[in-house]
Structure 1
Amino acid sequence: MLELAHKNPHAASVYVYDEDEYRQMRLLVTDDGKAGVALKGDEIVSAFAHKDCVHPRAARAMLRHATALGGRRLDCFDTVLPDLYADAGFVPVARLRWSDDYAPDGWDYDTFHAFNNGRPDVVFMAYDRGRVGGKYAPGAGAYVDDYDEGIACAKEYCSH
């Protein structure tokens, strides 16, 4: 994942935890180390896949497996990631408007220009087993005022 973070211009859209934090998570990684996801309790984090991974669509398969292991919620920038997550059964339940004050380190507004002029919303998504294989509807999810409220919406959806 660190290699991808240095080589992929879109890597700023995925948060990379430090090694000690990953040691506290359940990690699903391909045998070549080129694709994976992490489970942080019921939250799926750090999904990644290199283009040269020997296992095509590995990230999609791992996301589905992560739900079988208890992954119920996640959040991401409204770029290409919500499409990937919708396929695994995640539905948008809330969204938070972009704030320049919270832009990730290394964020390049030009690189992400196609996504709301480089300022994509954060989308909070929750797992719905009846929606596996689903499609993401851009703009779906009610706006919330802060990040914690978005997390609460995802947790609330999962509790039903």
Structure 2
Amino acid sequence: MIALTENNPFAASVYVYDEDEYARMRMRVTEDGTAGVALKGDEVVSVFAHQDGAHPGVAQSMLRQATALGGQRLDCFDTVLPKLYAATGFVPVARLAWNDNYAPDGCSYKTYHFYHSGRPDVVFMAYNPSAVGALHERGAGEYVTDYDEGLAKVEAYQAASVGK
């Protein structure tokens, strides 16, 4: 995971937990260590895949593994990630506008200039098995005013889905 962030201009969009935190998560990693995913409760975190790994396109497989193990939600910057996650059944439920005060270390607005002028929203997504294979609609999800409200929208979506 750390190697993937080195010399990667988009590394700021990857949050790397410390070893103690990962030790408390369920993790799946390929034998060669070039791809993996972690589950923090029902939250899917740290999906990674090296481009030069032995398993092209393995990120989709890792996401399917995560949902099979109970992964029900995630959040990400509105870059290429929502499209990747949508294909495996994650639907955008809410979004939070970029806030410069919470910009990740090493973030370059120039690097992300294709995504909302370098300030991509945070998209909160919930797993819906009937949405596997769906296309991501850019801008989907209701705007919220803070991170906790985004999490609450995902929980409400999940609760409503269970009741169906």
TM-score (norm 1): 0.98
Partner of 2:4: 4
* Distance in 2 of aligned mates of 1:52 and 1:117: 30
Which residue is equivalent to 1:54?
Answer: 54
Does the residue aligned with 1:130 lie in a helix, a strand or coil? strand
- 1:79 is the counterpart of 2:64: no
Equivalent AA in structure 2 for residue 84 of structure 1: L
Instruction: Quote the offset at 1:156 in angstroms.
Output: 1.6
Match of 2:98 in 1: 98
By how many angstroms is 1:2 displaced? 0.3
Letter matched to residue 124 of structure 1: F
> Aligned with 1:89: secondary structure?
strand
Matching residue of 2:142: 142
Deviation by residue 1:89-148 (Cα, 9 ceiling, x = unmatched): 000000000000000011011111110111000000000000011111000000000000
Question: Structure 2: which 5+ runs fail to align?
Answer: none
Tell me the distance in 2 between the aligned counterparts of 1:19 and 1:7: 21
**Structure 2 counterpart of 1:52, one-letter code:** D
2:110 corresponding residue in structure 1: 110
Q: How many angstroms does 1:7 deviate by?
A: 2.4
Task: Please list every run of at least 4 consecutive aligned residues from structure 1 whose deviation after the TM superposition is greater than 3 angstroms.
Answer: none
Give me the whole-angstrom Cα distance separating, in 1, the residues matched to 2:73 and 2:155.
7
Q: Aligned partners of 1:49, 1:158: CA distance in 2, in Å?
A: 28
Instruction: Measure the CA separation in 2 of the matches of 1:57 and 1:157.
Output: 29
Q: Distance in 1 between matches of 2:45 and 2:2?
A: 14
Output the amino acid matched with 2:136. Answer: Y
CA distance, structure 2, for counterparts of residue 158 and residue 25 of structure 1: 21
SS of alignment partner, residue 114 of structure 1: coil
**Which TM-score applies when normalising by structure 2?**
0.95
- Matched to 1:99, the amino acid is N
Distance 2:81 2:11 in 1: 12
One-letter amino acid of the counterpart of residue 112, structure 1: Y
The offset of 1:30, in angstroms, is 0.9
Aligned residues: 160
Question: Which amino acid in structure 2 is aligned with residue 69 of structure 1?
Answer: L
The structure that is strand-richer by fraction is 2
Identical columns (%)? 65
Deviations 1:55-94 (A, max 9, x none): 0111110101110110000000000000110011000000
